[in-house]
Structure 1
Amino acid sequence: MTTFLHQGDLPDDLDLGPVVAVDSETMGLRFRRDPLCVVQLSSGDGHAHVVRLNRPAYDCPNLKRLMADPDVLKIFHFGRFDIGMIQLHLGVETRPVYCTKIASKLARTYTDRHGLKDVVRELAGVDLSKAQQSSDWGAAELSQAQLDYAASDVLYLHKVRDQLDMMLAREGRTELAKACFDFLPIRARLDLEGWDEIDVFAHS
């Protein structure tokens, strides 16, 4: 496994294929307070590409183009947050998408443990370390520990997706999952517009 660090944007000649795992690192979990600092990606080949974004300009045309490319499926875990951050800071709507957390909740109804660490442990047989989750992602230089952590969040999503797809098909929930994925960018937009803690479908 190799982790490639890119400053500001993805290289012009990088082709990550038709299905790309994506995650992001921020300074916190509030959309308008905490900036987007890092986006990491993997094509499923065992390698990861970590982009340390240039703030506040976010001049990253290659990354933006990839996120908006209708021919490239982007795999997230809890994509609602990442898609919202990308929409807010990069100014593009990410489509099409697949969220392994949503898929897990629809397929793995025998458990309430749908965090990335639990899903990857069961479906990919890998025990992830989350030690760097709350580190300073806005630092001028990222540590090797941070790079390793960022990479681990995307390296196994292709395998997890494959396993979840089989479970969704087995339980007859493939189309339901796809409908949820299609709505996800709109759910992220609702978050950005102030409905982040409100269920607009609720009766009350």
Structure 2
Amino acid sequence: MAVYFHEEDLPDGVLAPGDDGGSALAVDTETMGLVTPRDRLCLVQISDGGGDEHLVRFSPDSNYDAPNLKAVLGDPNRVKLYHFARFDLAAIEYYLGVTAAPVFCTKIASKLTRTYTDRHGLKNLVEELLGESISKQQQSSDWGGPVLNDAQREYAASDVRYLHRMKTIFEERLAREGRTEMAQACFDFLPTRARLDIAGWADHDIFSHA
């Protein structure tokens, strides 16, 4: 297992699909904050589940011209695994101009199957489902600085390290509870939900009667 660090784009051939069209990709982002149009995209983390994680960092003056990364994220034949896909999809679409779908979101899968708890954070899921522990200490650190330290890189890599294994577990649980179709409908809607966030409807439920 290794963590690879890249500036501005993936190298040629990294995470390119194989003869089977390519496996699912775990994806995450780090930004300067939680308001997508204001808080720039600093880092994209991505892994095909084979044991390596790739971190792509963007500088403050980046034009986000990352053709290799965009090709991988925009590949319609490869499922993208996220934890809280709504936020990552918005950041990727706003800054990279790519709809990084089709989608599987472990947070939504958790809320649809782990109805016995309100603890749906990545740390909680990794501990319960996989029996491992991750640190979230660097979650609120400065991702736009000139250097990302080892702790930040490890934190970023851990955000995509466990998603493939969790997807397998959640697929089984969704089927067990008869909620696979419902979950898929939610996943399919997420790119639109992200666009609503970008367009200014982040906090208003347009489906409500109000």
Q: TM-score normalized by structure 1?
A: 0.97
Say if 2:71 is the partner of 1:48.
no
The superposition leaves residues 52-83 of structure 1 with CA deviations (integer Å, 9 ceiling, x where unpaired) of 12443011111111111101110000010000
Instruction: Give the distance between the partners of 2:62 and 2:199, measured in 1 at CA.
Output: 21
Residue number among 117, 120, 144 corresponding to 2:150 in the alignment: 144
Give, as a single letter, the amino acid of the residue that structure 1 aligns with 2:119. R
Aligned to 1:113: 119
1:94 shift after superposition: 1.6
Q: For residues 31-180 of structure 1, what are the structure 2 equivalents within 5 Å? A: 31-54=36-59, 55-180=61-186
**Distance (Å, rounded) in 1 between the aligned partners of 2:131 and 2:58:** 31
Shift of 1:18: 2.0
Secondary structure at the aligned position of 1:195 is classed as: coil
Q: Which residue in 1 is equivalent to 2:10?
A: 10
Equivalent pairs: percent with the same residue?
57
Q: Distance in 1 between matches of 2:64 and 2:81?
A: 22
Q: Which blocks of at least 5 consecutive residues in structure 2 are unaligned?
A: 17-21
- List, as ranges, runs of 4+ consecutive aligned residues in structure 1 with deviation greater than 4 Å: none
Give the CA deviation at 1:15: 2.4
1:24 is the counterpart of 2:24: no
Q: How many residues align?
A: 204
Alignment partner, residue 19 of structure 2: none
Say which is worse superposed, 149-158 or 9-18, in terms of deviation: 9-18
Question: The residue matched to 1:102 in structure 2 has which SS?
Answer: helix
- Tell me the equivalent position of 2:200: 194
Task: Indicate the RMSD between aligned Cα atoms, in angstroms.
Answer: 1.0
Equivalent position SS for 2:63: coil
TM-score in terms of structure 2 length: 0.94
